[in-house]
Amino acid sequence: MTQTVNFSEQLSLRARALLHGLGAAVPEPGPLPARTPISGGVLLSLAVDAPVDVDAAIGRAATAFETWRTVPAPVRAGLVRRLAQLLVAHRDELAELVTLEAGKIGPEALGEVQEMIDVCEFAIGLSRQLYGATMPSERPGHRLMETWHPLGVVGVISAFNFPVAVWAWNTAIALVCGDTVVWKPSETTPLTALACHTLLRRAAVDVGADPAVHQLIQGDASVGAALVDDGRVALVSATGSVRMGAAVAPRVAGRFGRCLLELGGNNAAIVAPSADLELAVRGIVFAAAGTAGQRCTSLRRLIVHRSIADRLVERLAAAYSQLPVGNPLDDGVLVGPLIDERAFAAMQKALVGSVAEGGDIICGGERIETLGPDAYYVRPALVRMPGQTELVREETFAPILYVLTYDELDEAIAINNGVTQGLSSSIFTLDQREAEQFLAGSDCGIANVNIGTSGAEIGGAFGGEKQTGGGRESGSDSWKAYMRRATNTVNYSTELPLAQGIHFG
């Protein structure tokens, strides 16, 4: 797509056409603007939900739960299966809408929709594997076991950088577990949320399920706060900043609800002397510059052995200079825009601060003004730092990669662990001992060998430690967060022995 005088208008017309193709009604104008970072213009505007609307949506989900929880899990999976079919049929349209709202390049947007399809397939299989356990009882004629039951209404609060995949992680699993869902998307990406909600409602009608099992509420932080504070919401799954999580967690805990938090990441990769540098450069560049550095798993700190640091930095700088930055709708572009002016300002502030702390900007950081004054395209920045300064310990949600050096692996692992976040980490090494030492020593929820910090598969549990929140979503046994456990004892004898050999009466 080429730039014209009416470029923003073209994008707006395209957004309307995509919504129509996805079966979603174009929303009535309202106070919530759906902007595109491609041009900075407004695609459409939407109405926001008032407190009474949020209350009603949660009420509908709570009512629907009473029936949905009794539907057998493999039957519940039929809804998710139909959703997956619709996602396959509309993959290209939904991916393009993701590009329009979040600024992702085409392959990354398609990958995000494919991630939705993958997690639906995972959830379908999971519906026949919600296993409990049977334990030996110390009492004769007794059976001791645990069973898992639907939890209730799940509130999902998602962020702009993965506007559809994170919703699918939560929703596909929650639905097969017997929960109903109320979704509060980022106010930055309301159109993709409307499209997904429409597809799920259509899937429900197609399989004869109650469409009320999924509710969508739109608006600013006050809408999310109403979801967080409502006692009918059994679990709040929130993705966003550490600051947001620090506000959400005590409010949910104060009403004895459950939280699943996916918060900030200040991810590091260690490059050892034995590393395959060609492999490392490819992995580092994608992890640091992909999605314009706006993934929670983006690589932000590079910890390189001193003996190879100069050589690796030279190769990275050469790779950075060749990265095509521009309109994510154009073929060949690898780095799209930052989400908005605030993200750009934060990046510039961090770069100024890095120089003040003794850093050297090797390349990048400058703005590219190609698509109008309200669009923020920047070249990914590579910065050598004298050490892990206070600035380096902070997460800047932008494509800045700080390069640090180390002499011994223990020192590198300590640098990796020396931040308050604990999401993703990796090491590039061909030494098995170094790899195993790193896997045992990293304090992150994700630890990789010879790949970057981003690009997690749906089969593994996703999440992190420390200020990242401790939550786990998607694969493995993450389903347990969406269910409640009951321990059951069945006495099939004619006696009534007590545990621990207690005799009473």
pLDDT tens-digit series, residues 266-280: 999 999 999 999 999
222 and 285 belong to one structural domain? no
Above 70 in pLDDT, residue 452? yes
In the structure encoding, which two tokens stand for residue 166, read together?
A: 């994170």
What gap in Å lies between CA 1 and CA 129, rounded to an integer? 46
Residue with tokens 């009951």: 486
Is residue 90 situated within a structural domain?
A: yes
DSSP-assigned letter for residue 7: H
What gap in Å lies between CA 225 and CA 147, rounded to an integer? 32
Greater confidence (378 vs 505) lies with 378
Q: What does the pLDDT look like over 51-90, one tens digit per residue?
A: 999 999 999 999 999 999 999 999 999 999 999 999 999 9
Backbone angles phi, psi at 339, to 5 degrees: -65, -35
121 is known as an active-site residue: no
In three-state secondary structure terms, 182 is strand
DSSP-assigned letter for residue 29: P
Q: Which residues pair with 383 in a beta bridge?
A: 361, 402
What Cα–Cα distance (Å) separates residue 273 from each residue in 342, 343, 388, 432, 450? 38, 35, 20, 13, 13
Range 308-318 average pLDDT: 98
C-beta separation of 254 from 411 below 8 A: no
For position 369, what pLDDT does the model report? 81
- Structure confidence at residue 3 as a pLDDT band (50, 70, 90): low
Residue with tokens 């020396």: 418
Above 90 in pLDDT, residue 329? yes
CA angle 174, 180, 184 (to 5 degrees): 90
DSSP-assigned letter for residue 28: P
DSSP-assigned letter for residue 481: G
298 and 229 belong to one structural domain? no
97 and 232 belong to one structural domain? yes
Amino acid letter, 340: D
Output the domain CATH number for residue 237: 3.40.605.10
Question: How many domains are contained in the chain?
Answer: 2
Contacts of 260 (CB under 8 A, 6+ apart): 170, 235, 236, 237, 238, 469, 471, 472, 473, 481
In the structure encoding, which two tokens stand for residue 470, read together?
A: 């401790």
Is residue 36 situated within a structural domain?
A: yes
In the structure encoding, which two tokens stand for residue 377, read together?
A: 């395209």
Q: What does the pLDDT look like over 330-369, one tens digit per residue?
A: 999 999 999 999 999 999 999 999 999 999 999 999 999 8
Q: What does the pLDDT look like over 467-492, one tens digit per residue?
A: 999 999 999 999 999 999 999 999 99
Q: Which residues pair with 367 in a beta bridge?
A: 378
For position 14, what pLDDT does the model report? 97
Range 157-174 average pLDDT: 98
For position 370, what pLDDT does the model report? 76
What Cα–Cα distance (Å) separates residue 316 from each residue in 284, 288, 383? 8, 11, 11
Catalytic choice (101, 108, 112, 262)? 262
Above 90 in pLDDT, residue 503? no
293 and 348 belong to one structural domain? yes
Exposure of 393 by Cβ count < 10 A (0-12 exposed, 13-18 middle, 19+ buried)? middle
Q: What does the pLDDT look like over 171-208, one tens digit per residue?
A: 999 999 999 999 999 999 999 999 999 999 999 999 99
Exposure of 197 by Cβ count < 10 A (0-12 exposed, 13-18 middle, 19+ buried)? buried
Q: By residue range, what is the domain housing residue 391?
A: 267-449
Share of the chain above pLDDT 70, in %: 99
C-beta separation of 133 from 488 below 8 A: no
Above 60 in pLDDT, residue 129? yes
Contacts of 49 (CB under 8 A, 6+ apart): 57, 217, 218, 219, 223
285 and 229 belong to one structural domain? no
- Structure confidence at residue 1 as a pLDDT band (50, 70, 90): very low
Is residue 22 situated within a structural domain?
A: yes
169 and 277 belong to one structural domain? no
- Structure confidence at residue 123 as a pLDDT band (50, 70, 90): very high
300 and 246 belong to one structural domain? no
Share of the chain above pLDDT 90, in %: 96
117 and 197 belong to one structural domain? yes
In three-state secondary structure terms, 129 is coil
Above 80 in pLDDT, residue 2? no
C-beta separation of 430 from 277 below 8 A: no
User: What is the crossing angle of helices 91-102 and 7-21, to 10°?
Assistant: 140
Buried b (16+ CB within 10 A) or exposed e, 19-45: beebebeebeeeebebbbbbbbbebbb
31 and 130 belong to one structural domain? yes
Is residue 481 situated within a structural domain?
A: yes
Backbone angles phi, psi at 19, to 5 degrees: -60, -45
Neighbour tally for 283: CB within 10 Å: 24
What Cα–Cα distance (Å) separates residue 171 from each residue in 33, 271, 477? 25, 37, 15
178 and 292 belong to one structural domain? no
C-beta separation of 214 from 181 below 8 A: yes
Is residue 504 situated within a structural domain?
A: no
271 and 154 belong to one structural domain? no
Is residue 455 situated within a structural domain?
A: no
Output the domain CATH number for residue 318: 3.40.309.10
For position 358, what pLDDT does the model report? 97
C-beta separation of 280 from 270 below 8 A: no
Is residue 498 situated within a structural domain?
A: no
Backbone angles phi, psi at 83, to 5 degrees: -60, -45
For position 4, what pLDDT does the model report? 45
- Structure confidence at residue 33 as a pLDDT band (50, 70, 90): very high
What Cα–Cα distance (Å) separates residue 2 from each residue in 36, 39, 330? 16, 12, 8
CA angle 89, 216, 55 (to 5 degrees): 160
Enumerate long-range contacts of 16-19, CB under 8 Å, 24 or more apart. Answer: 16/44, 18/93, 18/94, 18/96, 18/97, 18/100, 18/195, 19/97, 19/191, 19/194, 19/195
Give the full edge-to-edge strand order of the sheet including 133-135.
133-135, 142-150, 483-491
Neighbour tally for 284: CB within 10 Å: 27
Above 90 in pLDDT, residue 371? no
Is residue 54 situated within a structural domain?
A: yes
What gap in Å lies between CA 230 and CA 224, rounded to an integer? 10
Neighbour tally for 127: CB within 10 Å: 22
91 and 126 belong to one structural domain? yes
What global pTM score does this model have? 0.96
